[in-house]
Amino acid sequence: MGFIGAGQVAREIHLPLLSQMPQVEPLVLCDVHEAALDGAFRKFGIRETTTRYQDVLKMTEVDAVLIAVPNYLHARIAEEALRAGKHVLCEKPSALTVRDAMAVKQAAEASGAVYMMALPHRFDAEAALLKRWIGAGHLGRIFHVRAGAMRRDACPGGWFTDRERSGGGALMQVGSNLLDLLLWLLDFPEVGRVSASISNHLAPARAGEPTRSLAMPRARGLVYDVEDAAFCMLRLNGHASVVLEVAWSLHCDADRDYLEIYGDRAGAALWPLRLFQDMDGVHVDVSPHPQTPPAYPALARHFVECVLASERGQAVSPRGNAQDGLRLTHLLHHLYLSAEAEREVDVVDAAALTPPRKGESIA
């Protein structure tokens, strides 16, 4: 397996997990910053290093790659990797534009290789139990969802605050995981209209200060043209609604994550998982205690299992496939469009959008 990108996510999450799996042999590590390669390749027993991802894709002994690079490179590298016959595990988002997300989807379908986005919330044991409850009808007809990830001071700095490279701020980096989770829980309902309001009032002024919430250095003079907070409303066809709030720099009392789902038979919340219902005229709160193994090891195992099944000739559809990537990019596009227009916008069917033309460059 080849690892493209040796940043914090690769070094602290993916490399430690994948390099310890008996089915995975870490062959090559790639990063444009040579300093990032020095310690990582020795620590994880990787044979080779390079500063060019093209070198990784040319290696015939590499069957699969991890892509953990700045967002604007995801689609380009993934499409080239799929065309080279490599299985792909890619950090989200799949692309910054709908056109590029469609190109990745088409490349995955043409190659027959596994393409999977790293979406850890889908491997959260409590979220999986909640999804089963919803599917079994225990909540009844769902009419509203409320989700958020609020941070007092967690702006990561670096390329994350440069829209050209990241595609967006708190909504893109934090909100995309929550948005995918709630769509997955609800079995991907059709979204009719969206509205969003974004702001960047706090984080730019803090950009030169030491960060307290994340172990990532900030640099003075960095580009900061993304939002530090986003407040969104999605109207689902079928009369349900979703409110999504995310911020990485906000005057709030404490950092918090929440997801609440309201149905006509019961309500539920995550982190921790709880169920709220009436029983014989009495309000009853249920707090289950399922086993909650960490999400990222489950994510890594799922990717490897999908690759092995694909190599045996079995058809596989990983959690977080290229279609899911297109769906997520499509909705994020409309949320940013709404914020820019300062009005609610209709969500155009992604399938009706113009596919990329043959030979067209990927921006």
250 & 207 share domain: yes
- Residue 255 within any structural domain of the chain: yes
Q: What's residue 126's pLDDT?
A: 95
Per residue, the 3-state secondary structure of the chain, as one string, reads CEEECCCHHHHHHHHHHHCCCCCCCCCEEECCCHHHHHHHHHHCCCCEEECCHHHHHHCCCCCEEEECCCHHHHHHHHHHHHHCCCEEEEECCCCCCHHHHHHHHHHHHHHCCCEEEECHHHHCHHHHHHHHHHHCCCCCCEEEEEEEEECCECCCCHHHHCHHHHCCCHHHHHHHHHHHHHHHHCCCCCEEEEEEEEECCCHHHHCCCCCCCCCCCCCCCCCCCCCCEEEEEEEECCCEEEEEEEECECCCCCCEEEEEEEECCEEEEECCCEEEEEECCEEEEECCCCCCCCHHHHHHHHHHHHHHHHHCCCCCCCCCCHHHHHHHHHHHHHHHHHHHHCCCEECCCHHHCCCCCCCCCCC
Rounded to two decimals, the pTM is: 0.91
- Residue 253 within any structural domain of the chain: yes
Q: What's residue 102's pLDDT?
A: 97
- Residue 267 within any structural domain of the chain: yes
The domain spanning residue 143 has which CATH number?
3.30.360.10
Q: What's residue 244's pLDDT?
A: 98
Mean pLDDT for the chain overall: 90
Domain span at residue 266 reads 125-286
The domain spanning residue 14 has which CATH number?
3.40.50.720
98 & 129 share domain: no
- Residue 359 within any structural domain of the chain: no
Q: What's residue 165's pLDDT?
A: 96
- Residue 328 within any structural domain of the chain: no
Per-residue pLDDT reduced to its tens digit, 98-115: 999 999 999 999 999 999
149 & 97 share domain: no
* pLDDT surpasses 90 at 206: no
- Residue 350 within any structural domain of the chain: no
65 & 13 share domain: yes
Q: What's residue 326's pLDDT?
A: 96
- Residue 186 within any structural domain of the chain: yes
Per-residue pLDDT reduced to its tens digit, 246-298: 999 999 999 999 999 999 999 999 999 999 999 999 999 999 887 788 999 99
